[in-house]
Amino acid sequence: MALVPYEESMEIGLQKFHKPRATFSFANHTIQIHQDWRQLGVAAVVWDAAIVLSTYLEMGAVELRGCSAVELGAGTGLVGIVAALLGAHVTITDRQVALEFLKSNVEANLPSHIQPKVVVKELTWGQNLESFSPGEFDLILGADVIYLEDTFTDLLKTLEHLCSSRSVILLACRIRYERDNNFLMMLERQFAVSKVHYDPEKDVHIYKAQKRDQREDL
């Protein structure tokens, strides 16, 4: 989803995003992520929220072995790759224009015995949801997907479709603008939301959300 460039002024200090490769160590694996700012902009670089969410998963905050997970607006695919290395069956999604780039990072970083547990699939929020079964996933992951106000309604619609009463949503984000808080307020109308982690160095929050028990609303 992260395909709309930020204003030019925001490119100041973002030189690390112009590097062709970013290297990380997660789940006892070295992960080398190809970046392509010139072709795909913000969709093709690793943002801090993805690093913080990957670290949170590695900490064992949720049980991933055998878990059915989906990453939304995956961009480079780092979070989905880490979830797969930690034992989850993962569907890694983004818009059609980013899929080949996403797939190349996934294939380059997952051992052959893990690759069958991972699917790279198109998902434009609010659209083509019929290609996903309602409540299909145990875990929904999103890193830095809360920033473009025009997508908020479609993102909520997508979360509602993908979640069952047992599903857990983990969203990692930096609160940059008032609109980011507005999304969290929208989320709280449909889900029980709590902040479960904060990285002060990177100024990234992780929020956990689950569908509200209908009895709570009676």
Instruction: Indicate the pLDDT class of residue 6, thresholds 50, 70 and 90.
Output: very low
Structural domain of residue 206, as residue ranges?
63-211
1, part of any domain: no
Q: Is the pLDDT of residue 2 over 70?
A: no
**CATH code, 156:** 3.40.50.150
Looking at the 3D structure of the chain, how many domains does it have?
1
Asked if 155 and 187 count as a contact pair (C-beta separation under 8 A), the reply is: no
Instruction: Please state the rounded mean pLDDT for residues 136-156.
Output: 94
Share of the chain above pLDDT 70, in %: 88
The tokens for 110 are 């997952």
112, part of any domain: yes
51, part of any domain: no
Closest CA to 173 of 153, 139, 203: 203
**pTM, entire model:** 0.89
C-alpha 41/C-alpha 43 separation (Å) is: 5
Q: b/e map of 10-36 (b: 16 or more CB within 10 Å)?
A: eeeeeeebeeeebebebbeeebebebb
Instruction: Please state the rounded mean pLDDT for residues 106-120.
Output: 97
43, part of any domain: no
Instruction: Please state the rounded mean pLDDT for residues 29-55.
Output: 87
Asked if 207 and 171 count as a contact pair (C-beta separation under 8 A), the reply is: yes
47, part of any domain: no
Q: What is the DSSP string of the chain?
A: ---SPPPGGGGTT-GGGGSSEEEEEETTEEEEEE--HHHHGGGGS--HHHHHHHHHHHTTSS--TT-EEEEES-TT-HHHHHHHHTT-EEEEEE-GGGHHHHHHHHHHHS-TTTGGGEEEEE--TTSSGGGS-TT--SEEEEES----GGGHHHHHHHHHHH--TT-EEEEEE---SHHHHHHHHHHHHHEEEEEEEEETTTTEEEEEEEEPPGGGG-
15, part of any domain: no
